[in-house]
Chain A
Amino acid sequence: MGDLKKKKVIGNLDDSQLPYDYMDRPYGTVPADESRPPFRWVSEVAYKNVYRIVARGYDTTELVEQGYGLVDMLFIDFQARIPLVEEESMLNYIMILALEDGLSMPAMMSRIVARSRTFLTQACGASILAFGHAYGAYSAFGNMLIESLAQMEEGGKTIEQVAMELVQDKLGDPALGVSDLMLKDPVAKRIFARAEKLGVAGKYIAFTKEIVKAAQQISNHPIDLDMLGATGAAMMDLGFTPEATWAIMAITRSFGAGAHYIEEVEREGMTRLGQELTPKEDYDGPEDRPVPPLAERDRVAKPAQTFTPEEWKNAFEKGKKLHGSGFAVIEEIEDPSEQR
């Protein structure tokens, strides 16, 4: 940083907007802000004191003493209400189905972490990270339903029209809730049947059914409601937001991931740093080549700079061909708090 004193730097010269002198920046921490109330853990969800833990106004020990349980607590924490018996029953049903799914991604992530000899809690936490916008895409699915239904209300379109437009745009998207994953397993459709039987099916299940119908009309291969669509729509009809659904489903599976952690530790070994080999036959990068002497660096090395859009485009396309460079990946990193 000392070098900057000898150079012209942004914010030092020719910038009349800069509200301070770069060369004379003060050291020292910022004094306490007395113009506003001090920091506190502000929460709408819960508080505690020496004697009580209170969630959304209810003393949690009083809740369990009254016979309310975990599933009721989810409604209280996420929705600030005690659920109907039928709603409690429906969420209970969904959570059983979400608990375990064999050697699925969360289970495998848990097992991989277990092999490093970690705490169980690290493995359970890691398993939750499996839930993204492809695997367990509850946030994407739920927000898609909300946006489509809003379009229906604003645009005067029928539910069938909106479902068809959505499917034409999203068929094949892992967040659609319709796929070929559950053609032989009736469990997804049983979820909707159970919701209807309990009287808790609403607009999200109705709309998802239309999405399934539309998708089946235009798909060139058999598809049907899948577990994402079934559980996601049912959760939203129970009043959970897409994000709350995402969290609840991921956490529920994490209990199963905990069992996989335990089994991995019990039945399999540990893996040490540097232990695993990667066979050459699995490698398809550049051929083995000699490392040039350092003195020849300037002859061998080519700078990455480009100076025209054409050069930039060529370099970008070339970069895409090098797997692992990241040029072939384009993703939208948004502020999820905007998804309401």
Chain B
Amino acid sequence: MDRGPLFRRKTAIAYKTEEKTVLRGYDLSELAEEGYSFCDAIFILLQGRIPTAAEEKMLNYEMGEFMEHSMSPSAAAAISVIAGRPNLPCAVAASIMTFGGVHGPGAAHGYMMNKYLERAWAEGKTVDEMAKILVDEYLDAGEKVIGLGQPQHRYGDPRAEPTHLKQEELGVGGVYLEFQRAIEKHFDARRRKEGKSYVGVNVVGAGNTALMDLGFSPNAGWCIGSVCRGYSCAAHALYHMKKGHAWAASRREPRVQMLDLSMIEYIGPEDREVPSQDERQEYARKQKESGEYKKWVI
């Protein structure tokens, strides 16, 4: 049996021989035997170091809290994909792939924080001063400040403030926590000034702040958050796979299903005759010239 990799790469992450698998210099089996936790191993994977006990605790808190979020785009994707009954990993993969610029944008939050911290350093400003600049620049440009607001938890994400407090309790808060708190303060002040309602920090704003104070890069933090959510999405997919009807349109279910025909509302062009091939060229020319179709182009 050929046991070589499909393609070769220099890698600083891990190697594997017939005798052992080594992660950043540590034998994985020895790490497990010694009693290190999975969260410790995540630090080794993404930072090449063993964390302090407080850091390990904070990551465990963060991952435990972020894993399950009931119905969000990721869970909906997993449930939709499993409706066709492909192999389960397809549903899990789809759920993780929903994380982008809006759903759990951990990396984007991290890049925003780093960009403005870099400016604070370069321009000799305090973290608080730079937080105000960030809020003003984003809002003046009509952009959303990443990490604030959540469409479902409209009075504030129930996970967010406890995460800030846990960081403080464990003594793992750093410049990111100070910066995030300052962003929240200035954001709230500006909204009050504009007569707008309260918008609290969300789990990305709080959780990613904690991850960055734990030493994770924006992408490493995003990896932790988005992949972690995959576990709960797998559970949602499995529930539907084992206890629901495939296709999500069964009329035997007591409740109308997600893909029942009655769930469709159509707001596109009116029903119209299909032109024959003899009529096609003239029909298509007129249609193109009228330009009416352009309002439907997506």
Contact = CB atoms under 8 A, between A and B. Distances in A.
Interface of A: 1-2, 27-33, 36-48, 50-55, 60-61, 63-65, 68-74, 77-78, 92-93, 95-97, 99-105, 108, 111, 119-122, 124-126, 128-129, 131-133, 139, 180-181, 183-187, 190, 194, 241, 243-244, 246-248, 250-252, 254-256, 258-264, 267-268, 335-337, 340
A139 B88 contact: yes
Contact of B45 (A52, A100, A186): A100
B90 interface: yes
B255 A42 contact: yes
B18 interface: yes
10 contacts: A41-B79, A102-B21, A121-B222, A129-B89, A185-B29, A250-B92, A255-B224, A258-B227, A263-B12, A335-B246
B197 interface: no
A255 to B, nearest CB: 5
A92 B255 contact: no
B182 interface: no
A336 B64 contact: no
A37 B64 contact: no
A336 B241 CA distance: 8
A261 B242 CA distance: 33
Contact of B16 (A101, A122, A194): A101
Contacts of B155: 50-51
B234 interface: yes
B67 A70 contact: yes
Contacts, number: 332
Contacts of A96: 28, 31-32, 36-38, 40-41
B14 A102 contact: yes
B262 A60 contact: no
Scoring A32, A69, A71, A124 by chain B CB atoms within 10 A of each residue's CB, the highest score goes to A69
Contact of B70 (A46, A74, A251): A46
B262 A30 contact: yes
Contacts of A61: 65, 158-159, 162
Nearest to A179: B1
Given A38-B256, A70-B39, A128-B230, 14 more contacts: A43-B71, A46-B236, A48-B70, A63-B65, A69-B39, A77-B67, A125-B94, A128-B89, A128-B96, A185-B17, A187-B21, A247-B231, A262-B220, A336-B241
B199 interface: no
Interface in B88-116: 88-90, 92-100, 107
Contact of B241 (A60, A120, A129, A243): A243
A53 B69 contact: yes
A45 B239 contact: yes
A43 B89 contact: no
B13 to A, nearest CB: 5
Interface residues of B, number: 109
Nearest to A265: B219
A175 to B, nearest CB: 13
A143 B293 CA distance: 53
Given A187-B29, A247-B92, A36 B256 contact: yes
A-B complex: 3 closest residue pairs judged by Cβ atoms:
A258-B223, A247-B234, A69-B60
B154 to A, nearest CB: 6
Nearest to A251: B230
Contact of A43 (B17, B239, B241): B239
Given A121-B99, A129-B90, A69 B63 contact: yes
Contacts of B5: 102-104, 108
B219 to A, nearest CB: 5
B234 A259 contact: no
B158 A128 contact: no
B234 A251 contact: yes
A60 B67 CA distance: 9
Nearest to A28: B271
B13, B39, B68 interface centre (most CB from chain A within 10 Å): B68
A60 B228 CA distance: 14
A99 B45 contact: yes
Nearest to B279: A2
B33 A30 contact: no
Interface in B196-248: 217, 219-220, 222-224, 226-228, 230-232, 234-239, 241-243, 246
Given A53-B69, A60-B68, A71-B38, A33 B256 contact: yes
B15 A121 contact: no
Contacts of B16: 101-104
B88 A92 contact: no
B296 interface: no
Nearest to B169: A65
B254 interface: yes
A242 to B, nearest CB: 10
Given A102-B15, A335-B246, A126 B93 contact: yes
B137 interface: no
Given A64-B64, A131-B89, A39 B11 contact: no
B103 to A, nearest CB: 9
B46 interface: yes
A120 B8 CA distance: 21
B192 interface: no
B44 to A, nearest CB: 9
Contacts of A44: 239, 243
A63 B232 CA distance: 15
B158 A100 contact: no
Interface in B251-287: 253-258, 260-266, 271, 273-276
Contacts of A54: 70
A256 B92 contact: no
Contacts of A43: 70-71, 236, 239
Contact of A55 (B1, B232, B241): B232
A193 to B, nearest CB: 10
